[in-house]
Chains A and B, each alone.
Chain A
Amino acid sequence: MIAINNSYKQRIKSLQSLIALVLLCLVLTVLTDKFFTADNGLNVLRQTAVNICIATGMTLVVLTAGIDLSVGSILALCGAVAAGLLKNGIAIPAVDTYIGFTVLGVVLAAMIVGALLGWFNGLVITRFNVPPFVATLAMLTIARGFTMLYTKGQPISNLGPQFAFIGAGSFLGVPVPVWIAAVVVLIAVCITRQTRLGRYIYAIGGNETAARFSGIRISNIKMIVYALAGAMAAIGGIIVTSRLDSAQPNAGTSYELDAIAAVVIGGTSLSGGRGSIWGTVMGAIIIGVLNNGLVLLNVSPFWQQVVKGCVILLAVIIDKANAKQD
C-alpha cells in the first residue's frame, strides 16, 4: 500500500508542471473568452518559442549544477552578427574580395559564434575554477559590449523577406519559430535520454566527485554543455532578429531570468542532477500563458512582474520540499 502511494506521489510530482499549466489555462478560460482560441494559442507559442530555445540550453547547464547568465547577451550578439553578415558580408579590400552570406550562412555563423562564446564560458569555469555565476556574469557584460561595438549602438534593419520568414512565417499553419523550438527541444531530449553525454550531464549534476571518480571528463562535458547553451541562445537570437526584422543592440536583456524561471518552474533542481527538458518546456509555456493571460485580463505590467516573481518563488519552494522528501 505504501509502495503504491509512493509511486502515485512520484507520478503526480513528475506531472506537476503539466497539472499547473492545465489549471492555469482553465482559470484563464473562465476569466476571459479571448484566451482559449486557436489564434491566441499560436500567439502564445510564437512568443514562447525564443524562451523555449534559451531555456532548453539553460536546462542542460542547470542539470550540471551550473548557471548561465550570459544567454541574453549572447542572443543579442548572435542576432547582430547574423544581421550584420547578411547585410554587409565580409569585405577584404586587400584582395578586392567580398564574402556574402546567405540566410543559411548567417544562421550557421550565428550558431558558431554562440557555441564559441558558450564554450569560452565552459573553459573559464573548468580551467580557472571560476564559479559559473561569476564567469557567465562576466560574459553577459562582454557579449553586450561586443554587441554595442559591432552595431555601433544602432539597430541593423531591413534584412529581407527570406530572413523574415524565420521569425514571422508559418509552415502547415504553425509559426516557424514554434517548429524551430520543437526541433531544439527534440535534439535536447535525445541528448539527455539517448546519449552518453546526457547520462554524464545528470551524473555530474548529481554528484560531481562520484562522476569524476567514475572516469567522466568533467571539463569536456561542461564545455560542451555551455557551448550547446550558447548555440541555443544564438537560435533564439536569430528568431528575435528575424521577428523584428532588425538586430537591436539591447535585445535579450533579462531573457536569462525568464529562461531560469522556466527551468525552475519546470521542476529542474538548481542543485543539478534532477529535471527534464519537457519540464522546462512546460515551465516556459506556463510563463508565456501567464504573461498572455495577465495582458488579456488588463493587469498592469507592474503587477505582472509581481505575479511572475511569486510563481517562481512558489516553484522553488515546491522544488525544495520535493528534494527534502526524496
Chain B
Amino acid sequence: MVLLGYNAVYIRKLSDVVNSRPGKFDAKSYVQKLWAGRLQEKLDSAIDVNTLKESLQTDPADGFGKYTHALAIGNYRYAMVKGIAMVDVVKEDEVLVTIQSAQPFKAVVLTEFVYGNTLRDASGLIDLQAFPNTGDLNGVSGELNKKVRQEVIPALKSMLKPGNKIEFTGAVELNKAHLRFDDIEIVPVRIKRIS
C-alpha cells in the first residue's frame, strides 16, 4: 500500500507549480494578433472560388488536400476563397449573390448568423496541439465570429446593394461526401465594391 501510494502521488510547493504554469488563455487578444497578422496573409493568398470548384470537381482528393483545412476528422473541410460576384437580393440575415465564372452560380453571404468554426478552420492557422483544452479552441472561433459580426459586416453592408459588383474574400465549408457549390455560404472577411 505504501509503495502504491508513493508511486501514485507527489507533493510540491503550490507557488512553484503555479509559477511554472502558463497563464489563462486570452482568446480576444489572441484573435486580435491573428487578425492583424497572419490572417491577412491568408486572405491575400485565398484561392479563387472558381479554381477551387474546378479542382474539386476534377480531382477531389488533390483539391481538398491542397486548398482546404479541417481540425476535426469527418467529411467537413474548410477553405478561404475569393471571387467576384453580383449582388442579387439583400435579405435581413444574408445577401444572395451570383458568383462570376464561365458557369455562374448562386452563393449566400452571411450577414447576421455567423457562428461555428468555419473561419477558424478555413484559415488553416490553428495548431490543435497548441491548445490545452477545447474551450480555448472554441474561444478562438467565438472571437473571430464576433469580429466578423461587429467589425466586418457593419462596414460592408453599404456595399451590398442589388446590382452592385463586389470582390469578396471569405471562408466556406465544404462537405467531401456531398460536394456542391450552389448556394454555398460565405463568411465574409473582406468585401470591396467594384462597380
Interface residues of A (CB under 8 A from B): 89, 91-93, 96-102, 104-105, 108-109, 154-158, 246
What's the nearest-Cβ distance from chain A to residue B17, in Å?
Answer: 4
Q: Are the C-beta atoms of A101 and B14 separated by less than 8 Å?
A: no
B8: min CB distance to chain A, Å: 3
Distance in angstroms between the alpha carbons of A180 and B64 in the assembled complex? 40
- Interface segment among B34-42, B130-138, B176-184: the answer is B130-138
* B58 at interface, CB cutoff 8 A: no
Contact assessment for B133 and A157 in the assembled complex, using a CB-CB cutoff below 8 Å: yes
Q: Which residues of B are in contact with A by a Cβ distance under 8 Å? A: 4, 7-17, 132-135
- B10 x A102 contact (CB < 8 A): yes
- Select from chain B the residue with minimum beta-carbon distance to A108: B8
A-B contact pairs, 10 of them (CB 8 A): A96-B14, A97-B11, A97-B14, A98-B12, A99-B9, A99-B10, A101-B8, A104-B4, A104-B8, A157-B133
Collect the chain A residues with CB atoms within 8 Å of residue B12's CB: 97-98, 100
Q: Which of B14, B134, B135 has the most CB of A within 10 A?
A: B14
Give the chain A neighbours of B14 by CB distance below 8 A: 91-93, 96-98
The answer to whether A105 and B134 touch across the interface, beta carbons within 8 angstroms, is: no
The 9 closest A-B pairs by CB, nearest first: A105-B8, A98-B14, A98-B17, A100-B10, A96-B14, A98-B12, A154-B135, A157-B133, A158-B132
Q: How far is the CB of A85 from chain B (nearest CB, A)?
A: 9
Distance (Å) between the CB of A310 and the closest chain B CB?
30
* CB neighbours of B13 from chain A (8 A): 96-98
Q: CA A105 – CA B3 in complex, angstroms?
A: 11
Q: Are B8 and A102 interface neighbours, CB within 8 A? A: yes
B134 x A102 contact (CB < 8 A): no
A-side contacts of B10, CB under 8 Å: 99-100, 102
How long is the Cα–Cα vector from A93 to B132 in the complex, in angstroms? 24
Closest Cβ neighbor of A157 among chain B residues: B133
- In whole angstroms, what is the CA distance A104 to B4 when docked? 8
| Closest beta carbon of chain B to A146's beta carbon, Å | 19
By a CB distance below 8 angstroms, the chain B residues around A109 are 8
Once bound together, how far apart are the Cα atoms of A246 and B128, in whole Å?
14
Chain A residues lying within 8 Å of B133, measured Cβ to Cβ, are: 154-158
Cβ–Cβ contact A155 & B134, under 8 A: yes
A191 to B11, CA, bound (A): 36
A98 to B134, CA, bound (A): 25
Q: Is there contact, CB below 8 Å, between A96 and B132?
A: no
Contact of A102 among B7, B11, B17 (CB under 8 A): B7
Which of B7, B8, B15, B134 is close to A154, meaning CB atoms less than 8 Å apart?
A: B134
Interfacial chain A residues near B16, Cβ < 8 Å: 98
Could you tell me the distance in whole angstroms from the C-beta of B125 to the nearest C-beta in chain A?
19
Chain B residues with Cβ below 8 Å from A97 are 11-14
User: Are A100 and B134 interface neighbours, CB within 8 A?
Assistant: no
Given A108-B4, A156-B133, residue A98 in contact with residue B11 (CB < 8 A): yes
Contacts of B8 in A (CB 8 A): 101-102, 104-105, 108-109
Closest Cβ of chain A to B7, distance in Å, is 5
Contact across chains for A96 and B15 when beta carbons are under 8 A apart: yes
User: Which residues in A have their C-beta under 8 angstroms from that of B9?
Assistant: 99-102, 105
Q: Which residue of A lies closest to B133 (CB)?
A: A157
Contacts of A105 in B (CB 8 A): 7-9
- Inter-subunit contact A104/B7 (CB<8 Å): yes
Distance from B156 Cβ to chain A, minimum over Cβ atoms (Å): 34
What's the least CB distance linking A270 to chain B, in Å?
37
Min Cβ gap A111→B in Å is 11
Contacts of A100 in B (CB 8 A): 9-12, 17
A223 to chain B, nearest CB (A): 22
B21 and chain A: residue at smallest CB distance: A88
B contact residues around A93 at 8 Å (CB)? 14
